[in-house]
Amino acid sequence: MTTAERKDRLFLVRHGETEWSKNGRHTSVTDLPLTPEGERVAASLRSRLAAETFDLVLTSPRQRARRTAELAGFGDAVVDEDLAEWNYGDYEGITTPDIRKTVPGWTVWSSPVPNGESATDVTKRLDRVITRIEAVPGDVLVFGHSHALRGLTARWLDLDVAEGRHFVLDTATVSTLGWDRGTPVVHHWNS
């Protein structure tokens, strides 16, 4: 199938709320559970996704993403290590305002992350995810994290991973990427 004919869609679901996501703390390798509210909202995704059929369902290895997938009715989602959140290194558990007290103007998209991942590292991982998705003829559902899914969206749109900064992603929301006349597009965001 040529790009002009593609009709498949990529559904992105950010995990439900955790204590750290609620407080704006950067969470990558710290494996936090969902809050009770995060569990409630994640469970509400089940009815929203029930009418869809997916040829592949992937999830980050972190429990917050896997639990969201389970509550949404996709407990058999395939774990893909490449969907892990951007590794924040020394900034793990710290908010952006706190980081900016010592590094003015810091952003994960364009600034160094001491002992963490660079944008180049994240791009390589996300490009492998896209290659995996492109090998599937139908719709794909992915459960993951804010910065990783925003970066994945940028890469889907043939943009630099840093352009993910333009796609704010709320917890336990569904976003849909796809095609329009051969061009990769955003169909729905944060719904």
Catalytic residue among 15, 26, 145, 147: 15
Catalytic residue among 85, 117, 145, 147: 85
Classify 10 as helix, strand or coil.
Answer: strand
Pair 155, 177: CB distance under 8 Å: no
CA quadruple 158, 57, 85, 168: dihedral sign: positive
- Is residue 5 part of the annotated active site? The answer reads no
- Is residue 15 part of the annotated active site? The answer reads yes
Q: Which residues contact 113 (CB under 8 A, 6 or more apart)?
A: 86, 87, 88, 89, 90, 91
Which residues are known to be catalytic? 15, 85
